[in-house]
Chain A
């Protein structure tokens, strides 16, 4: 089991993205938080560094320049790579990390269930720049105003009509929802079939009836756009339905999509915690209280020790869950553990850091205060903390407790 060290490829990615985070993300993070704006220039730069919006569809070669190892060594997924990269980018700024990587959420079902034609279409839609000169991004639209945790009661419908499906419904809190060039939208194709009737559709921006809606003002991750998306008699060709043929498990497809991204989400939370931790260490190294060095006080030093324990534990869980995915092992329980624990640690470490920093962290634009706000989302999106515990508990006890 190699979860305890980065192999050369992972170490390289960690180093490169860590440097990118420090050099390029950090300097602009506060501005995008304040202005609640997408970091388009930086996203273009990231693309030039190889962080393409279609990376998840394109596979490892696009990310590392190397082909997948073949035979027994061939990984079943790119989760280890994903967690290393996610942690480093979120170390720079979680909002920017999501702006750069948010398309991956839409890319993941296309990569797993898409036909070659659909993958081509996804690449085509994300090629080049838009009319503002921005790179193109994708959105994954599952949640609805009245359906977040309980995705089995989706109310968006896709009614078959000849060669087309006609989509109607409202989607809520969609990352890249306003700006996306490509949307993967989940809808009920056959209400009588229940969960089995749910399908994902690849829909191009500009398709009549696809109406990007209002952008949200948020507590944190403000560099990442969150918006409503409306579908009003939006006609989509049946060839753009994901999981054509026998490979769809209906609603189960969305669960697989979320399972596969959970380690990455946990890793982002670890990145935030580490950012706050490093900031604090630096501050404690040089800081004083009434003339004595902060670092000589157990009150401070042990608090740092506590944070480090939490961060190390969270990172180990994240890597274990990713390693399991890469080795084709069922990681559902572990991915939920890693995601939920990462979220807890990110919230806890940033809160402790604010308390230790005290009044100085009341300054406007204080990075730790921003990380505290950013951390909260990790307990909400991609399955809330309660939903992760529900999954973990069900895997232990075999029933859903209420």
Chain B
């Protein structure tokens, strides 16, 4: 076992960190107010290899060989320190690209990769409450209901949807062209080009039924959750970086507020939680890199789900406490922490309630409701 980064990983962390500190943090406030990422994000991040890192080289992408989820988690930790909304845009193509490359038909590959190579976005969603209606139509699937809100869906050409058909998990690649997409700007990740997709008996052809069965859908979930967890841990770290800096300068009762034990305690607990979340996210990613069969996929899925529980709790509490440490200034948007508090929520809310899911899936519960 080795917790050290290899040279490639260290370089990527360093590069992304520089991009985060120099650009993402500088753009975050304006992007949040405008509810739109700056145009230069695509060029600057594109040059750094984002967007196409999971698209095979042969299809116009940058992926040569196996995808490294550990590296992605390391990068996610840094991106979370910068801006959740832009991080979501930079990460959204990964799951659709990996899933389609691994299980998709040639038609699905051709269509998705062409779109991504041309600068398009794709996103991933999950019907976590079973609210969508899916029915078989030959080898294809018909879908009715509303997907989202999801980040990037306002601009995405495709959604990778994890849902259930006749009690069995499926992953579908749904093209948004010609469908009812509504762009949205909620108060979290405002610049993430959120959207909903409303489908009315829409046919997903057999070629776009990317995968059937528990394993592929569990693995997609593990990728998605471990990435969310890593970014969430990054946000928690950032919240406390800001808070620590502020608390060292703000003086009340004749001393920097950072010296009051109660505030040290808030910061310290946040860092304990963020440290746990970071390790769990990296471990889940490490398992994703090794997930080949049913048992190893289940292990990755389980670790990713647990990582997200811890990371979701960590980011919620850290951002709330960062606002607290800033006092009145924490509540106004001249300072970065109120945005972080808004941005913390999707890390817990997207892709379903982990705790509830695991209760529902617990083997001892079989025969229950």
Minimum CB–CB distance for B142 against chain A, Å:
19
- A380 on interface, CB distance cutoff 8 Å: yes
Chain A residue at smallest Cβ distance from B316: A351
Per-residue contact bits, chain A 277-294, to B (CB 8 Å; 1 contact, 0 not): 000000000011111100
State whether B128 touches A384 (Cβ < 8 A).
no
**Contact flags A213-255 to B (C-beta < 8 A → 1, else 0):** 0001111100000100000000000000000000000000000
In the bound complex, residues from chain A placing their C-beta under 8 Å from that of B324 are: 379-380, 384-386
Q: Judge whether B188 is part of the interface by a CB distance below 8 angstroms.
A: yes
Instruction: Tell me which residues across on chain B come within 8 A of A149, comparing CB atoms.
Output: 252-253, 327
A291-B132 Cα distance, complex, nearest whole Å: 11
Chain B contacts with A in 298-318, Cβ cutoff 8 A: 312, 316
**Cβ < 8 Å to A, chain B residues 308-352:** 312, 316, 320, 323-324, 327-328, 330-334, 338, 341-342, 345-346, 348-352
B332/A363 in contact, CB under 8 A:
no
Pair B333/A358 contact, Cβ less than 8 Å? no
Q: Does B102 contact A (CB under 8 A)?
A: no
Are A299 and B355 closer than 8 Å at their CB atoms?
yes
A376 within 8 A of B: yes
CB distance from A91 to the nearest CB of B (A): 21
Contact between B130 and A291 (Cβ–Cβ < 8 Å)? yes
- The reply to whether B323 and A219 form a contact with Cβ atoms under 8 Å apart is yes
**Does chain B have a CB within 8 A of A150?**
yes
Give the docked Cα–Cα distance between A218 and B332 (Å). 4
Identify A355's interface contact among B128, B332, B353, CB under 8 A: B353
In the complex, A212 has a CB within 8 A of chain B: no
B327:A384 contact, CB within 8 angstroms: yes
Give Cα A150 to B184, complex, Å.
42
Inter-subunit contact A377/B186 (CB<8 Å) = no
Per the bound structure, the CA–CA distance linking A355 and B328 in Å amounts to 26
Q: Is the CB of B332 within 8 A of A217?
A: yes
A-chain residues with CB within 8 Å of residue B327 when the two chains form the complex: 148-149, 380, 384
Contact of B149 among A148, A297, A362 (CB under 8 A): A362
The stretch of B89-97, B104-112, B223-231, B259-267 that contacts the partner chain: B259-267
CB distance from A358 to the nearest CB of B (A): 5
User: Given the complex, which residues of A lie within 8 Å of B260, measured CB to CB?
Assistant: 386, 402
Interface residues on A, range: 35 or more
Tell whether, in the assembled complex, residue B328 and residue A381 are in contact, meaning their CB atoms are under 8 Å apart.
yes
- Which of A219, A297, A300 has a CB less than 8 Å from the CB of B342? A219
Q: Which of B130, B331, B345 contacts A220 (CB 8 A)?
A: B331
Q: A292: which B residues are within 8 A, CB to CB?
A: 369
A146 interface residue (CB < 8 Å to B): yes
Measured CA separation A192–B65 after assembly (Å):
75
Q: Is A356 an interface residue (CB 8 A)?
A: yes
Task: Flag if B186 contacts A362 (CB, 8 Å).
Answer: yes
Number of interface residues of B (CB under 8 A): 50
Residue numbers in A under 8 Å from B351 (CB-CB): 359
Let me know if A261 is at the binding interface, CB within 8 A: no
- State whether the Cβ of A172 lies closer than 8 Å to any Cβ in chain B: yes
Task: Report the bound CA distance from A358 to B353 in whole Å.
Answer: 6
Say if the beta carbon of B366 comes within 8 Å of chain A: no
Tell which of B346, B353, B369 touches A362, judged by Cβ atoms closer than 8 Å. B346
Partner of A364, one of B187, B341, B356: B187
Per the 8 Å Cβ criterion, residues 343-379 of A in contact with B are: 347, 351, 354-359, 361-366, 369-370, 372-373, 376-377, 379
> Does any Cβ of B come within 8 Å of A168's Cβ?
no
Give Cα A291–Cα B133 distance, bound, in whole angstroms.
11
Is the beta-carbon distance between B353 and A356 smaller than 8 angstroms?
yes
Q: For residue B141, give the distance in angstroms from its CB to the closest CB of chain A.
A: 18
B360 within 8 A of A: yes
Say yes or no for B10: interface residue by CB 8 A criterion: no
Q: Assuming A148-B328, A384-B327, is B341 touching A376 (CB within 8 A)? A: yes
B26 within 8 A of A: no
Given the known interface contacts A143-B328, A148-B328, A219-B338, the answer about A364 and B355 at a Cβ–Cβ threshold of 8 Å is no
A147 to B351, CA, bound (A): 43
| Other A-B pairs, 13, CB within 8 Å; known A219-B342, A291-B130, A364-B184 | A148-B328, A216-B332, A218-B331, A226-B332, A290-B164, A290-B360, A299-B355, A359-B148, A359-B349, A363-B186, A364-B187, A366-B186, A376-B320
List 3 tightest A-B contacts by C-beta distance, closest first.
Answer: A290-B130, A219-B338, A364-B186
Q: Could you write out 14 A-B pairs with CB less than 8 Å apart?
A: A216-B332, A218-B331, A219-B331, A347-B320, A355-B312, A357-B349, A362-B186, A364-B184, A370-B187, A373-B342, A380-B331, A381-B328, A384-B327, A402-B261
Q: List chain B positions with a Cβ less than 8 A from chain A.
A: 128-130, 148-149, 164, 184-188, 194, 251-255, 259-263, 312, 316, 320, 323-324, 327-328, 330-334, 338, 341-342, 345-346, 348-353, 355-356, 359-360, 369
